[in-house]
Amino acid sequence: MNGNSACAEAAVLAGCTCYFGYPITPQNELGEYMARRLCDVEGAVFIQSESEIAAINMVLGASVAGARAMTSSSSPGISLKQEGISYLAADELPGVIVNMSRGGPGMGNISPAQSDYLQATRGGGHGDYRTIVLAPSSVQEIADLMPVAFDLADEYRNPVVVLGDGMLGQMMEPVSFDAIGPPKEFVKDYILTGAEGRPSRMVRSLLFDVKEEEEHNWKLFRKFQRMEQNEVRFETELGDDAEMIVVAYGTAARIARGAIKRLRQENLKVGLIRPITLWPFPKKAILEAARKVSEFFVFEMNAGQMLEDVLLSLEGQGHVHFYGRPGGVIPTPVELYRIISRHYHQSLKGKKG
């Protein structure tokens, strides 16, 4: 199954009953799968919207009405959705946004890239807010993370971004949905259902009184702090004896894994830290790794975006190497192996004696 279809199937199994989207490559299979699949789900809603802006606002409407709702797109379309994502965060409404990103800026191309890291991890739209960003690195992990995305969105009442790329969306891999249980139930005492038998409710983000707006911002900030405390997810591979640690996520992490396998065959002690949540970022894991390891190698399919977070996490410790390929170029594991190997030998030559 391709990643886009697996994403859609997992979302439906996770209780998503509303999908709104606008066609854009390389994630069209997602919307197409939903169009067919949601026909089988009673009361479900599929709308091919007139624009990305309309789609995210339909998500907002469905969310405030109490449904599990999502939209998906790729980089240029995600830019258009930022208005609605900001409103979801401000209104404290759940929603899941999938970005199968591509080369940019501007129209860019339709080839896989990790060009939207900073946009995704810094809120993306206007205002002082963050979204949890989940970065799967296989089709199976897309399927595993979709229920997590919906649960986190409901738990924190905040939009959650699933950040893949064109490669993950298009790639065919075996996938199992057996681990997805029935959707978790959340108490939704904020949704609009009509005021029958209860006081009327209003959902808004306009707060003319600056004191009220500041308090609202601090309330959101405390929520983001809770996410930072509780929701950091990452994976470490071969980290125990490592002398150099590669930090990479998503598709780049898979390429890195291939490169590391070759490096290990030559007895070069290279490990991997793979952030699964890009926000909150696994700062502590990286800082702790710096106690034993001095060399960090950041690899991204962009010109250096997560690099900033790695540098911030290290608080000046360690030595950071970087290799990035923007524009939709997918480096091979062999290419990356050569680059890492060169950096490894240059940095650790002295220690090796």
Partner 1 sequence: MKKVYSRPRLLKEAHFHYCPGCGHSIVTRLIAEVVDEMEMAGKAICVAPAGCGMLVYNYFDFDTLESAHGRGAAVATGIKRVRPQNLVFSYQGDGDLAAIGTAESFHAANRGELISIIFVNNGVYGMTGGQMAPTTLLDQVTTTSPLGRTSVKEGHPVRMCEVLAVLPGTSYLERVAVNKPSAILRAKKAIAKAFEHQLKGTGFSMVEILSPCPTNWKMGTIDACRWIDEVMTKEFPLGVVKEAAC
Return d(Cα 1, Cα 312) in angstroms, integer: 38
Nearest approach, Cβ of residue 1 and partner 1 (Å) = 28
- CA-based max dimension of the chain: 79
Helix/strand/coil for 128:
coil
Residue 200: C-alpha distances to residues 63, 64, 72, 184, 189 (Å): 18, 14, 32, 27, 12
Q: Which is nearer to partner 1, 200 or 229 (CB)?
A: 200
Q: Which is nearer to partner 1, 208 or 240 (CB)?
A: 208
Nearest approach, Cβ of residue 52 and partner 1 (Å) = 11
Return d(Cα 258, Cα 244) in angstroms, integer: 15
Place of tokens 């029958």: 196
Return d(Cα 284, Cα 305) in angstroms, integer: 19
Nearest approach, Cβ of residue 50 and partner 1 (Å) = 4
Q: Which is nearer to partner 1, 59 or 120 (CB)?
A: 59
> Any bridge partners for residue 101, and if so which?
165
Residues 6+ apart with CB under 8 A from 187: none
Q: Which is nearer to partner 1, 67 or 272 (CB)?
A: 67
| DSSP type of residue 40 | G
| DSSP type of residue 9 | H
Nearest approach, Cβ of residue 88 and partner 1 (Å) = 10
Q: Which is nearer to partner 1, 90 or 273 (CB)?
A: 90
Q: Which is nearer to partner 1, 92 or 235 (CB)?
A: 92
**Inter-axis angle of helices 210-230 and 75-91, nearest 10:** 110
Q: Which is nearer to partner 1, 187 or 195 (CB)?
A: 195
Cis bond leading into 26, ω under 30°? Answer: yes
Q: Which is nearer to partner 1, 127 or 258 (CB)?
A: 127
| Residues at the contact surface with partner 1, assessed by CB under 8 A | 17-18, 20, 45, 47, 49-51, 53-55, 57-67, 69, 83-84, 87, 91, 192-197, 200-206
Reading the block at residue 148, the tokens are 């997590």
Nearest approach, Cβ of residue 310 and partner 1 (Å) = 35
Q: What angle do CA 145, 204, 207 make, to 5 degrees?
A: 120
Nearest approach, Cβ of residue 55 and partner 1 (Å) = 8
Nearest approach, Cβ of residue 38 and partner 1 (Å) = 11
Q: Which is nearer to partner 1, 107 or 192 (CB)?
A: 192
Contact status, residue 149 vs residue 79, Cβ threshold 8 Å: no
Q: Which is nearer to partner 1, 83 or 213 (CB)?
A: 83
Return d(Cα 62, Cα 68) in angstroms, integer: 7
Which DSSP helix (H) or strand (E) runs through 236? Answer: strand 234-237
Nearest approach, Cβ of residue 206 and partner 1 (Å) = 6
Nearest approach, Cβ of residue 246 and partner 1 (Å) = 41
Nearest approach, Cβ of residue 45 and partner 1 (Å) = 4
**Inter-axis angle of helices 28-37 and 3-13, nearest 10:** 40
Place of tokens 């169009």: 35
